[in-house]
Amino acid sequence: MNFGGVEENVVTREEFPLEKAREVLKDEVIAVLGYGVQGPGQSLNLRDNGFNVIVGQRPGKTYDKAVADGWVPGETLFSIEEACEKATIIQVLLSDAAQIACWPIIKKHLTAGKALYFSHGFAITYSDRTHIVPPADVDVIMIAPKGSGTSLRRMFLQGRGLNSSYAIYQDATGRAWERVIALGIGVGSGYLFETTFKKEVYSDLTGERGTLMGAIQGLLLAQYETLREHGHEPSEAFNETVEELTQSLMPLFGENGMDWMYANCSTTAQRGALDWMGPFHDAVKPVFEKLYHEVECGNEAQRSIDSNSQPNYREKLNAELKALHDSEMWRAGAVVRKLRPENN
């Protein structure tokens, strides 16, 4: 398929329908390890699509969530070790830190011919840091949905699909391609585009820290603070910074493209946007280059591993998240959201 003049390998649901996916995986037992971010969406979609799927999860809050979602202890819900033993395909959807901790258990049950599945290239790409090195006689594959597990599930229930990338790191059986595509269709992908484990983790870590979350929060906060410091009230600053963007403009340029947005706004907005996109680009491009370098050399991965392995990690994280939640911009946002017509 051609993307702006560049040919890429893409697989659609028309080319590889659900019925074909079921046929490819009819003799497989799929174990989804972890029931946190991606686990619920992928496992429930697989179950609803008619695949033989079980869940492996440690005791705790997420185990109870799995039970509430209909997974039955001893039948479809097991310990991580039991699930690995029963499975022919092991989907490792644990957090990166938990993958490192559980790897000895997982590896013990990676017998010849099984498939090891990830939704993130982190563990394999940074294997010198994670020490996750699969045996040579198993398939190592990846489906990486381009969104949260919540979005994957929500779009599935709406009859839609969330686009995913796919990759094959190791094809030991000669069936890795059909296995990974069938799994991509099974978890509810809209279409699948080819990548590598390394490209996926580099783009994913850059995106999370960049325009998906880190950069967008920094950009929004900078504009909000500027408006507030020049005397604008919180409601006006928030509406001009966040509300109009998310409620009016993002749906439009998501549907039609930013080029369409530029062509369909006021001439005053057009002039200003065209004039200022250059300075903003020039200001942030060096930051993105620095970010990509930190991802590429492994520093970001090491920071994540070091931080998430600390015994007080959760307490520190909660304190940082609370500070974000309690900031004036997002307290103003909570009020604005309540005032939306659909909430009244």
The answer to whether the CB of 49 falls within 8 A of the CB of 186 is yes
Q: Cβ-count burial of 186 within 10 angstroms (0-12 exposed, 13-18 middle, 19+ buried)?
A: buried
Tell me the two tokens of residue 201: 């983790």
Catalytic residue among 120, 230, 232, 325: 120
Cα–Cα distance, 201 to 271 (Å, whole number): 37
Residue type, 252: L
Which residues, at least 6 apart from 291, have a Cβ–Cβ distance to it below 8 Å?
206, 209, 210, 300
In the block, tokens 């258990």 appear at 105
Helix (H), strand (E) at residue 53: strand 53-56
Would you call 281 a catalytic residue per the annotation? no
Residue 192 pairs in a beta bridge with: 11, 164
Q: What are phi and psi of 190, to 5 degrees?
A: -75, -55
Task: Identify the CA nearest to 328 among candidates 236, 201, 265.
Answer: 236
Longest pairwise C-alpha distance within the chain: 67
Helix (H), strand (E) at residue 269: helix 267-296
For 62, 83, 92, 276, 312, the CA distances from 197, given in Å and listed in that order, are: 27, 24, 14, 36, 30
Q: How many CB atoms lie within 10 A of CB 71?
A: 23
- Dihedral class, residue 176 (left if φ above 0, else alpha if ψ from -120 to 50, else beta): alpha
Instruction: Give the residue numbers annotated as catalytic, written as ranges.
Output: 120
